[in-house]
Amino acid sequence: MTARKEEVGPSGLASALVASGALQSDWLPTYKAVPREMFVPARIWPGIADGTRQNPVVDRTQDPDAWLRAVHSDIPLTTQWDDGSHTGDGLGRTPSSSSSQPHMVFSMLADLDVKDGHRVLEIGTGTGWNSALLAHRLGPENVVSIEFDPEVAKGAGENQRNAGLSPLVIVGDGRLGYTGGAPYDRVIATCSVGEVPRAWVDQTRTGGLIVAPWGPLYGGEAIVRLTVGDGMASGPFTRSSAFMRLRQQRPDLPPHDAYLKGQKWPANGTRSTTTLSPAEVGGWAEQLAIGLQMTGVFWTAERYDDGAYTLWTYSTDTLSWASADYEPGADSFDVVQSGPRRLWEETEAAYYWWEGQGRPGFDRFGLTVDSDGERAWLDSPDHPVPAVG
């Protein structure tokens, strides 16, 4: 029995996190003092919350060993689906709250680079673990966390009180920050954004940091680390990420039927072929590079039993679409495009630009936020990423 407890305990996870560099020495005492298991509800869905690598529900009351193994594994745990409307054991449509992967939690805390006396604003309380870690490190009086969902906020507060830590948890719109605690030395988001809210910049001290998952509509999200100064913020991406979107920035995407206008494919589309495989544009770094260049565009994949699929690309105004058919082992691929934007040609141009720059990873890209909006750049703010289309 003792060996079993050691197997599912937190020490093995801590060792792995330390070895990977995610859990640094200054955070190790906090990791030990604020165990993840105190912040995880009885019912969880372990794994990647996209329906493809998601495990069935694990219930602590029915299988406590499986629950502990999941909690002490380096994986995300979905804790809510569909803003709480889904209550069954199966997967819902949209994951809406979670306990993030520990590797990502401590990597982002390392990016945050907190010091004694710092005041921190967190966007997205979730289970309360992340803000409890910050409260243990900095003192609860120095941490404010904002959660939009009242029930999620209530659960987080209970978890934190049970752990003897009570940072200020505000129920509200995370885009607005919280002026009552400003200015902050650090801002951290545990939900992704496609646009950095202006309030986060305004409520951060000059020289302070904003650490947040950021991604274009097309895909390819990454953690951005912005340094605030003189009414603006700028900095590099540090690593890839995959977080749930800030609820107020969730895209409301048109359905497929809005594009073909009641006609059968290929409708009024123009046929062509390409030597660029649709599979080549699907990587996470490739999606980021393409998404930074193609605004107002998203994609879906229609998959078939033989491994083939159709990559559909759409403009959000419903005026343009493209389909590219992937066939395993093929050297050329059929394309159909319709509308004023030639979306597959734009995809090719964006991909070949990325290839021409030496296939840069996330850490070569960065973002600047100022009164004119947001601009992505490669290697330096002086080298903005070009737009296509």
Tell which wins on pLDDT, 11 or 126. 126
Catalytic residue ranges: 100
Q: pLDDT digit string (tens) for 188-206?
A: 999 999 999 999 999 999 9
DSSP 220: -
pLDDT of residue 90: 84
**Nearby residues of 123 by Cβ (< 8 Å), 6 or more positions away:** 145, 146, 174, 177, 187, 188, 189, 190, 191, 200, 212, 246
Provide the pLDDT for residue 9: 65
Give the global pTM: 0.94
| Bridging pattern class, strands 53-54 and 43-48 | antiparallel
Choose the weakest-confidence range: 10-19, 35-44, 156-165. 10-19
Query: Looking at residues 367-377, what average pLDDT do you find?
Result: 97
- Find the mean pLDDT for residues 351-360: 98
Q: How far apart are CA 85 and CA 29, in angstroms?
A: 37
Evaluated on CA atoms 85, 90, 94, 98, the torsion sign reads positive
Task: Determine which of 45-49, 183-187, 327-331, 351-355 has the lowest per-residue pLDDT on average.
Answer: 45-49
**What order of strands is seen across the sheet that includes strand 232-240?**
168-171, 143-147, 120-123, 184-189, 204-214, 222-229, 232-240, 365-370, 373-378
- CATH tag for 2-240 (out of 3.30.530.20, 3.40.50.150, 3.40.50.300, 3.90.230.10): 3.40.50.150
Tokens of 31: 């990791």
pLDDT of 5 > 60? The answer is: no
Residue 277 pLDDT exceeds 50: yes
Query: Taking phi first (over 0 means left), then psi (-120 to 50 degrees means alpha), and beta for anything else, what does residue 227 get?
Result: beta
Q: Higher pLDDT residue, 247 or 5?
A: 247
Structural contact between residues 201 and 228, judged by C-beta atoms closer than 8 angstroms:
yes
Across the range 218-246, mean pLDDT stands at 97
- Report the mean per-residue pLDDT for the chain: 94
Average pLDDT over residues 293-312: 96
Contact between 121 and 99 (Cβ < 8 Å): no
Per-residue pLDDT reduced to its tens digit, 85-138? 988 888 888 999 999 999 999 999 999 999 999 999 999 999 999 999 999 999
User: Hey, where are the domains in the chain?
Assistant: 2-240, 257-356
Fold entry, domain 257-356: Double Stranded RNA Binding Domain (3.30.160)
Return the pLDDT at 166: 94
**Section 221-243 average pLDDT:** 97
What average pLDDT does this structure show over 51-69?
86
CA 259 to chain centre: 28
Average pLDDT over residues 244-270: 93
